[in-house]
Amino acid sequence: MDLQIAAAYKSNAQRVRVISEAWVGENLYCPCCPSETIEKCRNNREAVDYTCNSCDSTFQLKSSQSHSATRIVDGAFAAMMRAVDKGAAPNLLLLYYDPSRWEVVNLTLIPNFAFTKSCIEKRPALSVNARRAGWIGCNILLCNIPPDVRIPWVENGVAASPREVRARFRSVSSLATIALTERGWTLHTLKVVRSIGKQEFSLADVYAHVPEFQVLHPHNRHIRDKIRQQLQILRDLGFLQFLGHGAYRTLR
């Protein structure tokens, strides 16, 4: 990463922002189409840092020194919830860097269709003494995003090839075809399946997580029926294989 471009800044937060944004602009391409570049947006565009001029995909960059974060601080809660409701959230770029060497260690892409309401955590309103008193922000809960849709771009300082990144993106893009009203169910079911930690699992293994689904969908009185439906959807999309008698195998 080029430190010289931030020489005029004294705030470390500003230095990180300028340096990481410049690195992304110089090195990244669009994972959603064959375009070899993504362009920096003007600073007044809400929650969007880059856009692809070929396919209109948008991206938001979050840079951090900690790769173990379970939540990412984001912008306004209401704006993010509106974006999720409309399926208009930007693709998220999570960049982790080594501050002693100013080198990119890990970069992960989370496609915009991976975001559901269960991933967005409301933060307390700012106090009356704050400059933006009453403003309510949000966190992105990475723990509620299935590992399938966390696409590695750089791992331990080694970049994946464009072909690999785009192939991984295409392999999960079928999730974007699910209606927004259903996608939260599907993604949470996939997250639960991965948390079981077994290649072969039973319907009973998933039913053990019914309380989680009840918290997310308190007005639904047919949680188990819905879980079976979502497992069928994941099977049809190629994430699972049905073995019969309530048994499944993960395929990815």
Phi, psi of 37 (to 5 degrees): -140, 155
Rounded Cα distance, 157 and 222, in Å: 46
Residue 69 has pLDDT above 80, yes or no: no
- Between strands 158-159 and 120-122, the pairing is unpaired
Between 132 and 230, whose confidence is greater?
230
Mean pLDDT within 158-173? 96
Residue 211 contacts residue 200 (beta carbons within 8 Å): no
Mean pLDDT within 87-97? 93
Instruction: Please report the pLDDT score of residue 60 as a whole number.
Output: 93
User: What distances in angstroms separate CA 112 from CA 7, 61, 68, 155, 173, one per listed residue?
Assistant: 34, 13, 21, 21, 10
100 and 225 inside one domain:
no
Q: Which of 37-41, 69-73, 146-150, 178-182 has the lowest mean pLDDT?
A: 69-73
**Structural domain that includes position 154:** 4-173
Which tokens belong to 145? 């995003």
140 and 32 inside one domain:
yes
146 and 93 inside one domain:
yes
Q: What contacts 217, CB < 8 A, 6 or more positions away?
A: 185, 223, 226
Instruction: Please report the pLDDT score of residue 2 as a whole number.
Output: 86
22 and 37 inside one domain:
yes
194 and 224 inside one domain:
yes
* Sign, CA torsion 230/235/238/240: positive
- Of the pLDDT bands very low, low, confident and very high (cuts 50, 70, 90), residue 36 is very high
* CATH number of the domain where residue 232 is located: 1.10.10.10
Choosing from 173, 204, 232, the residue where a domain stops is 173
User: What distances in angstroms separate CA 95 from CA 35, 86, 153, 158, one per listed residue?
Assistant: 21, 26, 10, 13
101 and 224 inside one domain:
no
132 and 218 inside one domain:
no
Q: What is the pTM of this model?
A: 0.89
- Of the pLDDT bands very low, low, confident and very high (cuts 50, 70, 90), residue 71 is confident
Q: How many domains is the chain built from?
A: 2
Q: What contacts 16, CB < 8 A, 6 or more positions away?
A: 63
Residue 245 has pLDDT above 80, yes or no: yes
Mean pLDDT within 199-227? 95
Residue 224 has pLDDT above 70, yes or no: yes
Choosing from 145, 173, 201, the residue where a domain stops is 173
Residue 151 has pLDDT above 80, yes or no: yes
62 and 187 inside one domain:
no
* CATH number of the domain where residue 159 is located: 3.40.210.30
Residue 17 contacts residue 23 (beta carbons within 8 Å): no
Instruction: Please report the pLDDT score of residue 67 as a whole number.
Output: 67
168 and 187 inside one domain:
no
Phi, psi of 218 (to 5 degrees): -65, -20
Choosing from 130, 149, 173, the residue where a domain stops is 173
33 and 79 inside one domain:
yes
46-55 pLDDT per residue, tens: 678 999 999 9
